[in-house]
Structure 1
Amino acid sequence: MSKTIVQPIGQKRLTNVAVVRLKKHGIRFEIACYKNKVLSWRSGVEKDLDEVLQSQTVYLNVSKGVLAKSKELILAFGTDDHSKICLEILDKGELQVAGKERESQLSNQFRDIATIVMQKTINPETQRPYTISMIERLMHEIHFAVDPHNSSKKQALEVIHELQKHFPIKRSPMRLRLIVPESQFSSLMEKLNAWNASIISKEESGNQLSMVCEMEPVLLRDCDALVRNLQGRLEILAVSVHVEGDTQVDHYENFDDATPSVPAKESSVLQLSKKLQKETISAGNDSAQDQEKKNKCTTCNAVVGDPKQYRDHFKSEWHKHNLRRKTRQLPPLSPDECLADIEVSDLKTDLKDYSF
């Protein structure tokens, strides 16, 4: 008596994957990728395509295992080479994520945009930055919605322009050093007065004059062109200047006054430094028994305190910055080195943001 072998039917394969979709000529094509690898590929961190794709196959529906036909591929892409088509879909396609994951990404980007807005703006009355909680509240009041396809910096500048229409807020000035020949000094001063620039100091060296001034970021390009025409040079000393030269501000989550400000006796840079220093516990000040009770972050090469401090550490800018360095195989930085590295990075990358 023969036995009938029962094969399972209705199986859904390739379900625990990240799907990238691209629609061409009215046909939707999909590829199956490993989770968390698509963004690494697009950012240049991941170089091995086999570490990104689960299979170099083009589907019409990944979850059902429906393959794309050759004639459909040729019609849409001009070729039926699955490897080439997978690369195009990987670069141009839309990454499908779960609802909670998408909500988390949008929430994190909203926070990043609010942080950039806080760092680049001040209250025109107090000349001090608003708190992060106040910026987020104002962004909700103007019904700002995050666009996941645009960079956080670009959206932050758009938010600033929109906030200026409804609330007392303005861009914090840049601090520049202008060096021009002595014979061109009067032409430079005439233009700076027209721009309402604030002169901090002047210094004469030989036949050249060096001046430190503060002006609106939107005037940077015009100022750079003027200085070059006067056969001088321009140096950026700080991309965002607050009271006492502060370039950052601590986060006061529970501050709810109408006009928030930072305490006058203590600079915000010092506050941020103290906040980072609380996360770093020196080995020399702790006994061996205490060290065993504490948690160590291998990314920052630092011992962090109780479980709550350990969780908060992973949300800190110090840890995030060292994590980015770790992906580039760079050694971790201390809190002070982290602040300096972030400031240097801003000086190198923010010039293109001042075209507004």
Structure 2
Amino acid sequence: MRRCKTAALAVPGDLATLTGGYRYDRRLLEELRALGRDVTHVALGDSFPRPSPADMLDAGKRLAAVSADCPVIIDGLAMGAMDHSVLAKLSAPIVALVHHPLAQESGLDAALRARLLRSERDNLALAAHVIVTSTHTAALLTSDYGVAPARITVARPGSDGPKAPAAPADPPLILSVGIQIPRKGHDVLLRALANIADDAWQAIIVGSARDAAHAELLGNLLTRLGLSRRVRLAGEVTPEELAQLYGQATLFALATRYEGYGIVFDEAMTHGLPIVSCAVGAVPLTVAPGAGQLVPPDDPRAFAAALARVLKDAGARSAMAAAAAAAGSELPGWDGTAGVVAAVLDRVVAGV
């Protein structure tokens, strides 16, 4: 089979953005290059997935400039929202990279959700192949978006182990990592924490304020619930600061409403942290058996009960931590992720 020597990776916004999706794209670019592939980063405008006319026009020009013998991997934030006619005119073979479908985002009105579903479904039909990060997303694209299983490859995110020994904080630190948008459920977490205010704990929520209105809601809720002295909305932190927080944490908590994968769960497991989250999307397939307690979404009382059990039951906490650490030690590296994607590129250029 002919080896794909050149490729392009098109990503909207700043590739250095500290979210799971951007981390995946960034590491994929680095590891493909480490494998000897000449991969060009095509930077698209940051207004995707709701592109401005200027960003849509610019994206069309940049993608059209990719040569016909160079597969272009297009991140789902752009792939699902691009003008269909623009994608249809590209000479380069398209490989879609879907972290999670755009229509699965929380807080969308019915009309926008329907429009994104149609747009992503139509655009995915133009892709020579589709890469997803989980078997859950693969099944969803087949059932709801009409993508044949033979056109989908799962390239699970890689993982980096902890760089320093754990140093748990006192009182126990509950760590949550996720950008401040409705889907991440930080509002549910805050309400859950208010229900266990009599217990000993502190909490930090890491993640940039991508949705200004929701970030304001979280700030107001923090004050109204009387949690301002015990919970810190840390915003975006450096990778070094985040690694330190993982080392200081006693448990990881994310009251998410949906995840197409969730790299943060892998990070928590590599640090041997018990996990409290929700049984939605790919979470039950990502969190290893025994490593976490998963409750229904949008249920602060159930989430509070799970948090309380992990905090108070030392035996259960120890067993969950051991299961998390064991699963984390078995996670693949990013070189493995890149190897899967490189094989897809080889098949695309070979026409198989």
TM-score relative to the length of structure 1: 0.24
Structure number with larger C-alpha Rg? 1
